[in-house]
Chains A and B, each alone.
Chain A
Amino acid sequence: MTQPQGTVQLPPQLSTIAPEVDAMYYAIYWISVASFVVIVGAMLYFSYKYRRRPGHEAKPAGHATVLEITWTVAPIFLLAWLFHAGFVTYMHGVVAPDNARDVRVRGMQWNWEFEHEGGVIDELNVLKVPVGHPVRLIMSSSDVLHSVFIPAFRVKRDVVPGMYTTLWFEATHLTEERTCERDADCPEAHFCGRADANGVRTCALPLFCAEYCGAPQGIQDSAGRNTNHSTMLAEVRVVSQEAYDRFLEEGPPAPAHCDAAEDPAACWGEGLFSQNGCNACHSVDGSRAPGPTWQGLWGSTRQFADGSSGVADENYIRESILQPQAKIVTGYSGVNMPPYRFSDRQIDAIIAYMRTLSE
């Protein structure tokens, strides 16, 4: 699929709403050009024709009520049309289709976090979306105002602390998987994303923060990314619907910083433990908490409320995460842990982390 080209004024149209918005843009543009040519043309022509010169006198200005009323009233029709057309297109961009897939967006100084269906949290500042299917962003902020702006999709909405805002779009073109070293290597309106664990960078569409959110005081922005308002920049990757479903199934890959860890899987598991809030109910040092501590849990024999018992092995842990109510450890009957959706690889990582707590 070839990427559409942008114009001098507008980036390429990569969403379903973009052609509609651009049609409006160009309608206003040509109205503007016409008005400008008439007004400035008349100004220049009169300035030349009636320039001050010997033998030329100004004529007193008369009254022309009909003319005045004409140019007062006539623009109203044009303006009413502009308002109406703009509003209709705007509403198309506001009301999401019923089958839209939800992505929760959390803005924070100075990162974006994206949580997909089933609680799959992608790596920071990466938004994967399926091509040809509407996606609704449900957005919140944990600190100050931010704003999600994806120029190629022609969408923007402020992200406001204390309330949810939403926007939706349907991407029409796959993002080409192209490695790059700088923005110039990428297709039009794309940029060269952050390096992954192997130092490879790939092209993506920019998602800007459009509402000013400051900078840390006195910290030098040498790395160039995600340290202030202008670098609160996420990579939008439009993938096929199959790839998106696979992503939801498998979850995101291990974070890059774990590649260097002694036990990469345990490193990932530790991250998931805190990112998903497991630590709210499970301690890792044996202390009492709403749920059983993870210290020494792995491999121990569990006594269950129904009188049976079992060894905490892979299958037990997996079941306890996906179906927490299947086996209740004695003493924890009143606790209702919700089911968590993790990919197999993530569960493996959590188990790897748990094992380190029993060594």
Chain B
Amino acid sequence: MTVEAGTAIPSSSSHAEEPNYLTHETGLKSWLFTLDHKRIGLMYLVSVLLMFFLGGVMALLVRTELLFAGETLMEADTYNKIFTLHGAIMVFLFIIPAIPGAIGNFFLPIMLGAKDVAFPRLNLLSFYIYCAGTVLALVAIVVGSVDTGWTFYTPYSTRADSSVIWMTGAAFVLGFSSILTGVNFISTVHKMRAPGLHWKRLPLFIWGIYATSIVQVLATPVLAITLFLLIMEKTLSVGVFDPALGGDPVLFQHFFWFYSHPAVYIMILPGMAIVNELIATFSHRKIFGYMFVAMSSLGLGLVGFLVWAHHMFTSGMSEYATMVFSALTFLVAIPSGVKIFNWVATLYEGSISFLSPMLYGLSFLVLFTIGGVTGLFLATLATDIHLHDTYFVVAHFHYVMVGGTVFGFVGGLHYWWPKMTGKMYDEKLAKVSWFLVFVGFNVTFLSQFVMGSQGMPRRYYDYLDQFQPLHMASSGGAYILGLGFIIMSFMFVKSLRSGAKAPRNPWASAGYEWMTTTPPHPHNFEETPVMTRGPYDYHLCTEEELWDGFDEDFQPSKKAKA
């Protein structure tokens, strides 16, 4: 069974001379005009990490202002701009492009056994569109001094000046990047799979990215419609959203969430996609209920289109609409639950190693479970009325977006770092930073749950004395979280400078992407691989496939092997 798969695996002795995508061409031009999905992925990675750093700095400024009641660092107006910056950067410039753009670009073709994505030039174009959108957004935010929150609710956003149009314009441009990447990935998955890689063998990472791509392609155009209507209103005074012109401000919320709720799934599905790979690899076991997990990604993508108005239960829309959207929202719990149950069941009878990527994977299970069950409070109408627009909501979506997506992303970054860079990293430092990030995150946001249920509204510059202790705890947690990320950055930089050479398959994974050399060959595989087993079929792997091809000193997985 495994003979043909084995033929694609380069021998351990020869990989020093193998050409790799990092070194086969050099010079700035070879990067700027590259059509190699791996290089484009790396450029995405650098960009989104830069944005993550910026958004993180904003978060720490927000938490520092809130350390004490009253003015601590800045005026109310400045504070409003800072939290808007934090939200807009993190959502539009970091989370949405992070996993599909960086990790998806790099690994989707490799995991399909393909040479590249279906449309390599389109892929480079979507990266440059992302850059253009990023520049536009940053200019709009800084020059236009947007202080509306990342949701741009009318009529506040249309009153002062036209900066909201520039900002939505930036989101629109970024949306094109999303759409093009989505189209590219869908085509690649349909047309470029290696021989033997049928749908039931598709890695779950691919299934997740595939579902994400469908949502991106279908939901993003609505943002264009919203932008068009905003421009019509501003330039031609066509009353759409502004009540002074006979428009309806609640309509904007419908339009906004009709895109932005599916966008929540554009953010979380790739996080879940990565966790599949982490849990499978570090349990040495196929994800339990593979097809159910794959289909639950598509199910989440579908249900994600039907629940947008659950952001609007107090907005004054009709009680019938409120009822319907509450009922539909509960449906989200089912595919999410299916995933969680299957991941836990995968651990059963596995062979589990606790290396840093797996720590992020297991953390995801814990944090996403908290994010999920707190969603029940918000889907239930009676309790949502009390909790809406409080810190409870802030904590809930941070548990999903950070505890889910960011932990997935960072776990994936650890997991694929050796393959991408050809360097190992310091596992001890990685574990220390994981610990700080995990503890810091929970301290920051658990305290926000309690503040929210006690009635602390969100987007507040100042607060009543009763919330002082919990605000201090939350800010303290944020500093721990920040320290964790600083140590992690140091750890990765150290790895680039002096990391040990990474073996072909440092985690003893059966995944297809580990069959090629490290760093990968410019064309991913020297010859088209033929897939004779699934990416999780550990029982069908040879000793050589799993355990060979690296030096034992650098290989923590091997030490545990009998």
Contacts and interface: CB of A to CB of B under 8 A. Distances in A.
A208 B457 contact: yes
Interface stretch (B74-82, B101-109, B223-231): B74-82
Interface string B317-331: 001001100110011
Q: How large is the interface on A (under 10, 10 to 19, 20 to 34, 35 or more residues)?
A: 35 or more
A182 B464 CA distance: 10
Given A8-B450, A221-B75, A68 B338 contact: yes
A55 to B, nearest CB: 5
Interface string B454-466: 1101111111111
Nearest to B282: A52
Interface stretch (B198-206, B378-386, B419-427): B378-386
B351 A149 contact: no
Contact of A144 (B79, B155, B314, B373): B155
B117 interface: no
B215 interface: no
B390 to A, nearest CB: 7
Interface in B378-401: 379-386, 388-390
A149 B327 contact: no
Contacts of B156: 144-145, 212-214
Interface stretch (A150-158, A248-256, A292-300, A336-344): A150-158
A215 B76 contact: yes
B80 A43 contact: no
Contacts of A86: 326, 379-384
A94 B318 CA distance: 11
The residue among A8, A46, A52 with the most chain B CB atoms within 10 A of its own CB is A52
Contacts of B453: 9-10, 25
A20 B349 CA distance: 45
Given A32-B374, A215-B80, A224-B70, A9 B454 contact: yes
Nearest to B280: A61
A79 B334 contact: yes
Interface string A156-188: 111011110100000000000000001110001
Contacts of A56: 351
B127 to A, nearest CB: 33
B195 interface: no
A208 B314 contact: no
Contacts of A191: 464-466
B243 A161 contact: yes
Q: Most chain-A CB neighbours within 10 Å: which of B289, B386, B539? A: B386
Interface string A121-164: 00000000000000000000001110101011011111011110
A24 B443 CA distance: 26
A206 interface: yes
Interface in A244-291: none
Contacts of B42: none
Contacts of A83: 326-327, 330, 379-380
Contact of A154 (B147, B248, B385): B385
Nearest to B156: A144
Contacts of B27: none
Given A10-B454, A11-B454, A51-B352, A32 B373 contact: yes
Given A61-B285, A183-B464, A25 B388 contact: no
B340 interface: yes
A57 interface: yes
A75 B337 contact: yes
A210 interface: yes
Interface residues of B, number: 100
Contact of B462 (A67, A154, A231): A231
A61 B350 CA distance: 9
B2 to A, nearest CB: 14
Interface stretch (A34-42, A308-316, A324-332): A34-42
Contacts of A61: 285-288, 290, 345-346, 536
B562 interface: yes
B77 A151 contact: no
Contacts of A75: 333-334, 337
Contacts of B337: 71-72, 75
Given A145-B156, A183-B466, A230 B76 contact: yes
Contact of A165 (B76, B155, B316): B316
A36 B367 CA distance: 10
B439 interface: no
B316 A158 contact: yes
A54 B560 contact: yes
B369 interface: yes
B463 to A, nearest CB: 7
A213 to B, nearest CB: 6
Given A50-B347, A60-B285, A215-B80, A21 B385 contact: yes
A213 B156 CA distance: 7
B348 A46 contact: yes
Contacts of B383: 21, 24-25, 28, 86
A9 B365 contact: no
Contacts, number: 301
A155 B369 contact: no
A50 B348 contact: yes
B450 A79 contact: no
Interface string B150-193: 00010110010000000000000000000000000000000000
Contacts of B369: 35-36, 39-40
A189 B277 CA distance: 47
B315 interface: yes
A189 B464 CA distance: 10
A39 B72 CA distance: 41
Nearest to B557: A52
Contacts of B365: 39-40, 43
A31 interface: yes
A43 B344 contact: yes
Interface string A203-223: 000101111111111111110
B352 A46 contact: yes
Contacts of B348: 46, 50
A31 B376 contact: yes
A93 interface: yes
Given A50-B348, A50-B349, A90-B322, 8 more contacts: A21-B382, A58-B349, A59-B285, A61-B288, A156-B385, A160-B243, A215-B147, A230-B76
Interface of B: 70-71, 75-77, 79-80, 145, 147-149, 153, 155-156, 159, 243-244, 247-250, 283-290, 292, 314-316, 319, 322-323, 326-327, 330-331, 333-334, 337-338, 340-342, 344-354, 362, 365-366, 369-370, 373-374, 376-377, 379-386, 388-390, 450, 453-455, 457-466, 536-539, 557, 560-562
The 9 A-B pairs with the shortest beta carbon distances in the complex, nearest first, are A162-B243, A151-B455, A86-B380, A89-B382, A90-B381, A32-B373, A183-B465, A230-B460, A46-B347
Interface of A: 6, 8-11, 20-21, 24-25, 28-29, 31-32, 35-36, 39-40, 42-43, 46-47, 50-61, 64, 67-68, 71-72, 75-76, 79-80, 82-83, 85-91, 93-94, 143-145, 147, 149, 151-152, 154-158, 160-163, 165, 182-184, 188-189, 191, 206, 208-222, 224, 227-231
24 contacts: A9-B450, A31-B373, A42-B347, A46-B347, A50-B283, A50-B352, A51-B351, A54-B561, A64-B345, A85-B380, A85-B382, A90-B385, A91-B319, A144-B156, A155-B385, A161-B244, A162-B244, A163-B316, A183-B464, A191-B466, A206-B455, A209-B457, A211-B153, A221-B75
